[in-house]
Chain A
Amino acid sequence: MTKHLTLPTLLIALLAFACSPAAPSSGSNAETVPEALTIYSSRHYDSDRTLYQTYEAKTGVKIQVREAGADQLLETMKAEGENSPADLIIAADAGGLWRFQSAGLTQAIADPELNALVPENLRQADGHWFGLAKRVRIVAYDPGRFSSEQVDQWLELADETKRGEICVRSSSNIYNLSLMAELITRIGSEDAGDWASGIVANMARNPQGGDTDQVRAVAAGECGIAIVNHYYWVRLATSASQADRAAAAATRIVVPRFPDGRGAHINITGAAVTASTAKKTLATDFIKFLLTNEGQALLTVETKELPILSSAALPEGVEALPPFKGGGTPLETLGENQAEAQRLYDLAGWN
């Protein structure tokens, strides 16, 4: 009889094991392990690994990381609630940071040192998040077809003179959503929607691929204008692949401005201390490390983002970027207007 029951019993036992809530493995050994910091990051670069290891070696603090998309990390943290192990959030755009903040998952850090390090326009006013590195959305163009004066205004890209010339990726990408979100703030929803329709009318092909694919398409002659983040162009220009370097060399870059000379479209990679952390000081210290010259270099060496500290070394290849100035639009608006941006893109038929 026992022999007969073996299989079902085994199966039940397996299922029961699979379904039983396992005890959280951390916590009990907190006193034996020195100190640990858990980071939820939407960045995933090999150089981040070096960054964490450097910090571990320097301070003895053990760093654990969960990498996933910002929206997924947000839902994970919501589900985990007070039990979330996350001490620090690193997100690759201001809109994402704003969403964590408005979900009540971040806390305000009033730290004079941090406020002095990060310019006012690159951090949240109450200290819910701080910019660590910045980027700018640019145009890479075919110098055989356009001069820089023809493509250095965001609004003018929607002109009829650019019919069939623009290559750009899908509207649901965060870079395009942020651009549209800033445009909504500057010129209002109605005009921003018209602008999107103008861009759609000017597209050389359906939105597809990533930013580098757009630069390559300009180099191949399929379009005359590519809308991309600066660092994708820089990565092509400094690539190990001969074809990539040739693609960058065949194009010129310009930083387009918003109307009234009000600067470029800037976004940040930033960090926020979680509301549920018991390690506020440790988390703040880590942010401060990222804002040292060493931290800034490690943060931007592979990504080719721009350091926030003026004293930090520029990553190789970034010097090709023409000078530009930021706009003064509060970065929160990139998050606040994001859903509206997607709605306008949808209506304009920007896939």
Chain B
Amino acid sequence: MQRLTPSSVYTGRMLTVFALIFVALPILSAVWFGMSAGGGSTWDHILHNRLLPYTLTTLIVLVLVGGLILAIALPCAWLVSMYSFPGRRVFEWALILPLAMPGYVMSYAWADLFGVAGPVQSALRSSTGMMARDYWFPDLFTVPGLSFILASTLFPYVYIIARAAFTTSSLATLEAARSLGVSGVGLFRRVGFPAARPAIVAGLALALMEAAADYGAANFLGIQTLGVGIVRAWSSFGEPATAARLALVLISIAFLFVILARVSKGHATTRQTSTRWLTPTRIALSGASRWAAFSLCATVLLVAFFIPLGRLLWLSLEVGTGSAPMLPPLIASLVLGLAGTVLALICALSFTLSTWLTRRVEWLPRLITTAGYAAPGVVLGLGALLLLKATGMGLSGAGAFVLLICIYASRFTAAGAEPMRAALMRAPQTLDYATRSLGGRGVRRLLQIDLPVLMPGALAGGLILFVEMIKELPATMMLRPLGMETLAVRANFYATDERLALATLPSLLITLAGLGPVLLLSWQLSKSGRVSA
């Protein structure tokens, strides 16, 4: 136990408490609103007729998305970490690219490409002479179709975390296993996966919460998830309070994930010694397996990124772009993303360090950030409007700007905190012992030990946050300052007016704006993979 506590530690704790309240406020106000005012006949109708289908559909989507993500992310991460094969160096970073493409944009592109009137089916009909009713074709507008769309934009979450775990965590064990003759799939199943499991589960939980909160893709594809039901309760029935109440179901599902993630982690704390911070020697694949590995990674990259991107580019060239200028929305997106990222990082940092230092209230920040992350943007936006009402202000100028980035922080802090937590957990326990025995604490400890250890995680978290924020649509739509428009808002305007081709340019710009940070993230991860202690 520490004998004396410098005032700066109190300051730090105050800051943590402050950040907690701050992140919790919008979601709490929305929940309160839902519980106090969300009853009535509409709620009864939803409860009796819609709640079960909404929930079941959502759960089925989540199971499928989870399975698909693991099936895509784990083999790719394992291959690029453990083996060398043609294109490995490119795949290593390029497999993160799909993160830059919003789910709703992905669904527009695939629906256009593979819809009944799209180029693929049209070509099929004209080459075979069949009519649309004569043949079976995979239908994107189904639960599996939605799961495919969500999985192909969200698998990088697990890929990033799994790759980091594979490349940095288990060298000694791997080498031991190899010397005992375990190889190939066995090595993954018996050594690689068990060691990386807690990290993978955490990444998966994050991705699934993101999938659960989706509205854009599900609505476009006509799948009745909870996310769609929540918006419907608001727009069709005109009852935002009922929408907020319905969001509680979604938040409960998210809590379930967090609990499951914790249970699966069990007592297995995988602290490393510093000698294990080495990338294992990659085995050169030969013959057919070389090309099998190449094809797998190439297919994932084509399907999850280049094919939809190519289709959007094509549409954009064919029909042209709208007359609205794109520079102001681009700048607005960048500024909002940057400001929101800084704020969310500060919150994430204070939660992570506070957890690290005190180990008392770990569940509380986690609970709150999870609730924010799982709540759909519209519900948080609603919470923000209730707070706005309490202040008696109009939604304009700097006040609106600040409110919006606060909502970003409230919504996304979980995505920033997880990589930081992972970075802390990977740090050798001996570092902590050494620091304590040398009397390091307070701000000195923060600056000299914890921040440098956190840096890779903070960078990864910051980049993920930035990409998420420039993709964010519902809260931005509701809360942006008067006259301000972001790329996501503009793309959505065109898309809701059914002018997909015009939506292409802003969608592409979102992808491009997200690409920079994603490339930076890839580079940073590749670099950390090569670091030796």
Given contacts A221-B133, A346-B45, whether A76 and B395 have CB atoms under 8 Å apart is yes
Contacts of A288 in B (CB 8 A): none
Measured between C-beta atoms, what is the minimum distance from A208 to chain B in Å? 4
Decide yes or no whether A4 CB sits under 8 A from chain B. yes
| Of listed B11, B14, B397, B498, residue having the most chain A CB within 10 A | B498
Closest to B22 in A: A19
Q: How many angstroms between the C-alpha atoms of A72 and B395 in the bound complex? A: 12
**Contact B49 A346, beta carbon cutoff 8 Å:** yes
For B387-399 the 0/1 string (1 means CB < 8 A from A) is 0110111111111
Looking at A67, A79, A170, the one whose CB has the most chain B CB atoms below 10 A away is: A79
* Contact in complex: A46, B322 (CB < 8 Å): yes
- Residues from chain A with a CB closer than 8 A to the CB of B532 are none
With A85-B394, A346-B45 already in contact, the answer to whether A79 and B385 are too (CB < 8 A) is yes
CB nearest to B235 among chain A residues: A71
In the docked arrangement, what's the CA distance between A220 and B123, Å? 11
Distance of B477 from chain A, by nearest CB (Å): 5
Residues of chain B lying within 8 A (CB to CB) of residue A24:
393-394, 396-397, 399
Chain A neighbourhood of B6, CB < 8 A: 4
Give the residue of B221, B235, B350, B388 whose beta carbon is less than 8 angstroms from that of A69: B235
CB atoms of A79 and B221 under 8 A apart: no
A49 touches B346 (CB 8 A): no
Q: Which residues of A contact B132 (CB under 8 A)?
A: 217, 220-222
A252 within 8 A of B: no
Nearest CB in chain A to that of B318: its residue: A241
**B residues in contact with A23, CB < 8 Å:** 397-399
* Chain B residues with CB under 8 A of A69: 235, 477
Chain B: residues with Cβ within 8 Å of the partner, total of 87
Does B501 have its Cβ within 8 Å of any Cβ on chain A?
yes
Question: Counting CB contacts under 8 A, is A262 at the interface?
Answer: no
* A12 CB contacts on chain B under 8 angstroms: 11, 14-15, 18
Q: Is B88's beta carbon under 8 Å from chain A?
A: no
Provide the bound-state CA to CA distance between A8 and B396, in Å. Answer: 30
For residue B75, CB closer than 8 A to chain A, the reply is: no
Checking A45, A99, A170, A212 against B222 with a beta-carbon cut-off of 8 angstroms, the contacting residue is A170
Interface residue count on the A side (C-beta < 8 Å): 78
Query: Across the interface, which residues of B come within 8 angstroms of A261, CB to CB?
Result: none
Pick from B45, B122, B133, B396: contact of A26, CB below 8 A.
B396
Q: Knowing A5-B8, A222-B132 touch, does A79 contact B395 (C-beta < 8 A)? A: yes
Chain B residues with CB under 8 Å of A44's CB are: 493, 496-497
The answer to whether B117 and A217 have CB atoms under 8 Å apart is yes
Q: Contacts A66-B483, A79-B386; is A206 near B397 (CB within 8 Å)?
A: no
Shortest CB-to-CB span from B8 to chain A, Å, is: 6
A80 B236 Cβ-Cβ under 8 A: no
Inter-chain contacts of B483 with A (CB < 8 A) = 64-66
Q: State whether B343 touches A220 (Cβ < 8 A).
A: no
Residues of A within 8 A of B381 (CB): 72
B337-386: which residues lie under 8 A (CB-CB) from chain A? 342-343, 346, 350, 378, 381-382, 385-386
Complex contacts, B45 vs chain A, CB 8 Å: 343, 346
A194 to B166, CA, bound (A): 59
A79 to B384, CA, bound (A): 9
Contact B493 A21 (CB under 8 A): no
The answer to whether A45 touches B497, judged by C-beta atoms less than 8 angstroms apart, is yes
- Whether B443 pairs with A83 at a CB distance below 8 angstroms is no
- Tell me how far the C-beta of B483 lies from the nearest C-beta in chain A, rounded to whole angstroms: 5
Q: B residues within 8 A CB of A83?
A: 392-394
A220 to B391, CA, bound (A): 54
| CB 8 Å contact bits of B228-256 with A (1 = contact, 0 = none) | 10011011111110000000000000000
Q: Is the CB of B222 within 8 A of A208?
A: yes
> Distance in Å from the Cβ of A73 to the closest Cβ of chain B?
9
The reply on A9 being an interface residue by CB < 8 A is yes
Q: Which residues of chain A are near B237, meaning CB under 8 Å?
A: 338-339, 342
> A residues within 8 A CB of B298?
none
B499 to chain A, nearest CB (A): 8
Is B182 an interface residue when CB atoms closer than 8 A count as contact? no
B398, A25: Cβ atoms under 8 Å? yes
Distance of A206 from chain B, by nearest CB (Å): 6
| A181 and B15 alpha carbons, distance in the complex (Å) | 52
Q: How far is the CB of B457 from chain A (nearest CB, A)?
A: 18
In the A-B complex, the 6 residue pairs with the smallest Cβ-Cβ separation, listed nearest first, are A25-B397, A216-B117, A22-B398, A208-B222, A44-B493, A342-B236
Q: A5-B443, A24-B393, A25-B396 are in contact. List 9 more A-B contacts (CB 8 A).
A: A21-B393, A26-B397, A75-B478, A79-B389, A80-B393, A85-B394, A99-B238, A219-B117, A339-B237
- A binding-site residues for B, Cβ under 8 Å: 4-5, 7-9, 11-12, 14-15, 17-26, 38, 44-46, 49-50, 64-69, 71-72, 75-76, 78-81, 83-85, 99, 169-170, 172, 174, 177, 205-213, 216-217, 219-222, 232, 235, 239-241, 243, 247, 338-339, 341-343, 346-347, 351
